Amino acid sequence: MSTFSPIYLFWYFFPAIVLFAAKLVVSVFSLNKRFRIKASDLTVPFLLFGIHQLSNVSFQFSIFPYFLITLLLLGIALAILQAYFFEEIIYRRFFKMYWRSVFLLAFVLYIVLIIFSILQFF
């Protein structure tokens, strides 16, 4: 059983802070209208960094290399699915779908890490 430290609190609220800041940047610079960029697109690198840091703080080892392998397999699967269903791979659609899928996967993993980290205290 480990002890609670304030660093845990920072990593628990990190995704909310980053999403809020990204939403603010997108709205101030009107990136959605100009480049069709959403707040989730800007949040992905920060979530990846947060996954690495939260897993280091909580479990004393990083799960980031395993998550990176998962992301590579996700890219291969999306390319195969697009080739099968659309009979072609349009790079713009592929990268947009891949990047948004990475956001969803990273966000879900981050929430799971937070839950495991909280359960670690009990």
Q: Closest by alpha carbon to 109, among 59, 51, 32, 53?
A: 51
Model pLDDT for residues 37-86, shown as the tens digit of each residue = 999 999 999 999 999 999 998 888 999 999 999 999 999 999 999 999 99
The average pLDDT across 25-40 equals 94
- Would you list the domain boundaries of the chain? 6-119
Q: Determine the Cα–Cα distance for residues 79 and 99; give it in Å rounded to an integer.
A: 13
The average pLDDT across 22-43 equals 94
Q: What is the pTM of this model?
A: 0.91
For 35, the token pair is: 């480049």
